[in-house]
Amino acid sequence: MAFSSNVSSHLSLHLSRKIGIPIRDNIGKYLSIFMETTQRKSHTFQPIIDRISNRVLTWKEKYLSFTGKEVLVKAITQALPIYSMSTFLLPKKVAHTLEKLIAKYWWSSSNDKRTHWLNWAKLSKPKELRGLGFKDIRLFNINLLTKQGWFLLKDQGSLMSTFMKGKYFSDSYFLEADLGGRPSWL
C-alpha cells in the first residue's frame, strides 16, 4: 500500500495495520506499467519497450520472409502495448522508439545496420495506398484514447464515468472540461 505525502505517517501506519497490508514506497508494475507517477513518463513505459525489443531480438535469429515478418509485427509488436495505449497517452519519444524497433526489425534480419528503403510514414499507410498497413503508434494511441472518451460520453451512468465526472469535470461537460490545476497524466 502506498500513501500520498499529504497523509501523516501516523495515519498511514494505523491504516496499514488495520487493513493488514504493508506500506511500500514502490508499488511496482501492473500490466507492464510502473504505477509510480513521480518518475519521468518515458521511464514508466520502459517495460513495454523492453518487451517488444526482446521479442524482436529473438525473431532476428530466424530468417523469415517479409510476409512472415509482417504477420509478427502486426500480431505481436503492435498488439503488446494496446492496454497501455488504451489507458495512457504515450510520450512521443516512446511511440517513436517503438516505431524504430519495428522498422529496424523489418529492414534487417540481424543486428547489422541496413538501409531503410521506406520511412515509417510510408510503412504505416494502408495497403490500398501502397503502404504495408503497419499502425502509426501515436495515431493508434490517440484513437484508443478517443474510444475511451466515447465510452465516458455514451455510458454516463458507469462507475468510471461517474468517477471521472466527479474528479475532473463536475461542473462542465466532458468535451469542454479544462485541464485543471492538478491533472493526472495517468
Do 48 and 88 lie in one domain? The reply is yes
d(CA 83, CA 80): 8
Q: How far apart are CA 140 and CA 138, in angstroms?
A: 5
Tell whether 49 and 9 lie within a shared domain: no
Of 155, 149, 144, give the one whose Cα is nearest residue 168: 149
> Are 46 and 111 in a shared domain?
yes
On whether residue 84 sits in a domain, the answer given is yes
pTM of the entire predicted model: 0.74
Position 21 in a domain: yes
Same domain, 26 and 65: no
3 in the same domain as 78 = no
Lowest mean pLDDT among 30-39, 70-79, 91-100, 148-157: 30-39
Nearest to 137 by CA among 181, 73, 71, 184: 73
Q: Are residues 24 and 55 in the same domain?
A: no
Is residue 14 domain-shared with residue 99, that is, in the same domain? no
First to last CA, the chain: 18
> What does the DSSP 8-state code read for residue 117?
S
20 within some domain: yes
Give the CA distances from residue 67 to residues 62, 64, 74, in Å, rounded to whole numbers and listed in that order. Answer: 13, 8, 11
- CA 7, distance to chain mean position in Å, is 29
Residue 161 within any structural domain of the chain: no
Same domain, 71 and 93: yes
What confidence tier does 58 reach under pLDDT thresholds 50, 70, 90?
confident
**Same domain, yes or no: 7 and 63:** no
32 pLDDT tier (thresholds 50, 70, 90)? low
The reply to whether 55 and 121 lie within a common domain is yes
Residues 17 and 88 in one domain: no
What is the percent of the chain with per-residue pLDDT over 70, rounded to a whole number?
84
Domain count of the fold of the chain:
2
Which residue range(s) make up the domain with 11? Answer: 1-30
* DSSP labels, 25-93: S---EETTEE--SSS-HHHHTHHHHHHHHHHHHHHHTS---HHHHHHHIIIIITTTTHHHHHHS---HH
